Structure 1
Amino acid sequence: MAAWSDLTNDLLLHIITFLPLSDHYRFGAVCKNWRSVSKLRQHLPTPELPWLVLEEESETRRRKFYSLSEAKHHSIDIPKLHGCCICGSSHGWLFAVDIKITGILVNPFTQECYELPPFPAFSKDVDVTTLIEKEKVPSGSTGLRDYTLEEMQTIMVSKAILSHDPKERSDFMVMILFGDRNAPAIWRPGDALWTVIEGPKYVIMDDIIYFKENFYVLSALNVLYVVDFNPKPKLIEVGPQIKIEGCFWQPWQRYLVDFNGNLLLIERFCQRLDKELFMTSAINVAELNLEENCLCERFDISDFALFLGRNSSIFVNSSHFPMCKKNSIYFTESYFPFKFGCRDVGVFDMTDRTINTFYPVVFPPCVGSPIWLVPNP
């Protein structure tokens, strides 16, 4: 029998198309020849469900991940993410804020990294440089709205998205919602500073999306904006007027989602369990038609499943994954993970409007909440 290392590349390339990501890396560790085959991008691992990015292990500092397809945990050592709060996921890249309140963009599987410039001021009352200096005092008190560095890591950026995969296009852009009002800002490779996008004053923004070659921003006042880059970035109101008819309770969070070329508005409602803990109680879905300037409620997403949170929107065809529930929304998010951990995770069935669990363990208190990630090796 021939040695395994002597198998032809054609045969190895055929084998690797059946392997999930975790086995893809084990395949590449067998020998030099197998490793060279595993790095060929035209033969990537078989598609799988999004991974859940979890907390950092306290002893090893390795980042924990949960593969929904395998129902298995994995630990990966990613030095650039040590001590970081992950607050965005897009095209398989993670956006994180480190202990110096500086942003980085990391691909956790290739460990490629972009170091980003300092953020604009969190607010007129909080200067990050002063905050870091005061944190060196043994008492740990900042004196500025009582924010600690750990809390600032979590709240500095509420969401971050990419226009394109940096491995596919060098002219990609990063867009964030930052500061106490979730103001939008843009960064391009080569920029020395973030460019804050001009918009209505004193308006808090809820979500952002890159949709059909444009950035869109949704405000907490139910107004949709598109970013106009000429001559400098500013927000212009577009789309239908969004109203909540006959509903006393306001959504806890809204999301913009690209569903097969259709723009969806997702409204997530929560109920209060105690003073500071909220749990998702219902999710509503509507389709925004920008051409006809109308909004239409949707009661199903067919055979698809949506993965919702601080990540860019992710849809998968559940018929390709037997373990995935169709016509469902998998959600995870927490605004106080450093205090309570993240308990608000589950799967919302749009057919019977019930909520069940997909991960039975309560996430411990940590810097950054669990977030969905599409593997992009």
Structure 2
Amino acid sequence: MATGWCDSLQNYLVSLGERLAVFWNKFITAVRKSFGADQVPLLMLPKRIDDAMVQFYTLAKGEIYNANLPEISGKACFASLGWLLTVTSDQGELKFNMLHPSNHHAQIQLPGLLRCPLENIWKFALSSNPRSTLDYIVMFQTATTLGFCRPGLGGQGWKHLGFEAHNIIRDLTHYQGSFYVVDQSGRVSVVCEIDDPKRAHLSVVAPEIPSKEQLLGPKKGIKQLYLVESAGSLLVVLCTSYHNQYESTIGCRVFKVPFSNGNSWSDSEVKDLGNRALFLSNSSSSFSIEGSGNSGCKPNCIYFLNSKRVSPFVDLDVGIFNMEDGTINRDFSNSFNTGFEEIRESHLWIQPSF
């Protein structure tokens, strides 16, 4: 009797999992056909660490979809090029896996890492989509260190590149064959000679901001810095706030790097993104797409997620900054930022990469 009941329960759970997978794949297919694969970013909503059922919000339809991803339960999540990186700590060792939300059964196991607390991992970036090549690099960022490996080519563990302790890394991205970082002073550097880990080093391509007050105005500071590619150019975005109000972003400034021909920060400022929209997040790689009515994304706007954690005790710093008039729309999140009564992980932008 007990055995039969267990078998029935197991069959039911398998069937339920299969139906959820079919639903998710149908949703992805419908999105692709309706709007084009390169025009539909998804937003993974904040989850509790032990959640297996997660929610995705699509800007195209303004709707929330549930997906069963048991592979991410009990793990911290990050995102790059549409892939999720999961990290968990097991007896002092960090364990990493990658999976794609549209086919989460196909996982890529990455090397483990000793003597690195889970909370030290801030972000990760991919050089290429693992679906298209085996020659790709996975890089993660801590406050002062970069770690990278080549899992597709049988790499032998993580290699490390140190950073000056007093210059905290604020963001990481991959652009035209190289990894770039920006530190808290605004200095942008490129990772050189990564093919030889013993010779890998950073080379500055944009100097630190000489005077934040002169560049940003009185009583304004930098809350967060992001690196993002848009229309073939590498941009650094400064999310600004008042010195006494760091929980709320009040504006964004955009600059093109690397600097050339002796240009300064003010010389390199970008005032208009054209028909592009930027998507920025603390825990996922930033990206840009063409804004259009079909995609649900507004052109010449910056969609930012500046909260590292979701908490009922702290206001969410989420909004859409309009480059044309300098306004911030915070109402767009009303349809999905509800019911978070405990501390959760941050939102994740999922870049289209079907």
TM-score range, shorter chain: 0.7 to 0.9
Tell me what 2:113 maps to: 119
SS at match of 2:346: coil
2:146 matches 1:184:
yes
Give the structure with the higher percent strand. Answer: 2
Q: Deviations over 1:12-67 (max 9, x none)?
A: xxxxxxxxxx9883389xxxxxxxxx7xxx99983342000113479973111111
Identity of aligned residues (%): 25
Tell me what 1:94 maps to: 84
In the comparison of the two structures, how many residue pairs are matched? 310
Q: Among 301, 307, 310, which residue is 1:334 paired with? A: 307
2:217 matches 1:253:
no
Q: Report the AA paired with residue 46 of structure 1.
A: G
Measured after TM superposition, the shift of residue 350 of structure 1 is: 0.8
Q: Among 58, 75, 78, which residue is 2:69 paired with? A: 78
Q: Among 331, 346, 349, which residue is 1:369 paired with? A: 346
Q: Is the 8 A contact 1:206 1:218 kept in 2?
A: yes
SS at match of 2:25: helix
Q: Is the 8 A contact 1:272 1:278 kept in 2?
A: no
Tell me what 1:52 maps to: 43
**Separation in 1 of the partners of 2:57 and 2:168?**
33
Measured after TM superposition, the shift of residue 291 of structure 1 is: 4.6
Tell me what 2:250 maps to: 281
Q: Deviations over 1:322-342 (max 9, x none)?
A: 632221001113123367477
SS at match of 2:206: coil
Q: Is the 8 A contact 1:346 1:359 kept in 2?
A: yes
Q: Report the AA paired with residue 130 of structure 2.
A: P
Distance 1:214 1:278, change over 3 A: same
Q: Is the 8 A contact 1:109 1:375 kept in 2?
A: no
Q: Report the AA paired with residue 301 of structure 1.
A: L
Distance 1:99 1:289, change over 3 A: closer
User: Higher relative CO (CA 8 A, sep ≥ 6), structure 1 or 2?
Assistant: 2
Distance 1:232 1:352, change over 3 A: same
Distance 1:57 1:222, change over 3 A: closer
Measured after TM superposition, the shift of residue 293 of structure 1 is: 5.2
**Separation in 2 of the partners of 1:251 and 1:272?**
9
Distance 1:27 1:340, change over 3 A: closer
SS at match of 2:115: coil
Measured after TM superposition, the shift of residue 272 of structure 1 is: 7.3
Q: Is the 8 A contact 1:83 1:99 kept in 2?
A: no
Q: 1:21-32 maps to which residues of 2 (within 5 A)?
A: 25-26=25-26
Q: Is the 8 A contact 2:144 2:162 kept in 1?
A: no
Measured after TM superposition, the shift of residue 116 of structure 1 is: 2.4
Tell me what 1:235 maps to: 201
CA RMSD of aligned residues (A): 3.1
Tell which deviates more after alignment, 205-214 or 219-228: 219-228
Q: Deviations over 1:132-154 (max 9, x none)?
A: xxxxxxxxxxxxxxxxxxxxx5x
Q: Report the AA paired with residue 326 of structure 1.
A: P
In structure 2, the gaps of 5 or more residues are 1-21
2:104 matches 1:107:
no
Distance 1:106 1:367, change over 3 A: farther
Tell me what 2:170 maps to: 206
**Separation in 1 of the partners of 2:247 and 2:27?**
43
**Separation in 1 of the partners of 2:51 and 2:163?**
44
In structure 1, the gaps of 5 or more residues are 1-21, 29-37, 123-127, 129-152
Q: Report the AA paired with residue 187 of structure 2.
A: V
Q: Is the 8 A contact 1:81 1:96 kept in 2?
A: yes
Q: TM-score, normalised by structure 1?
A: 0.73
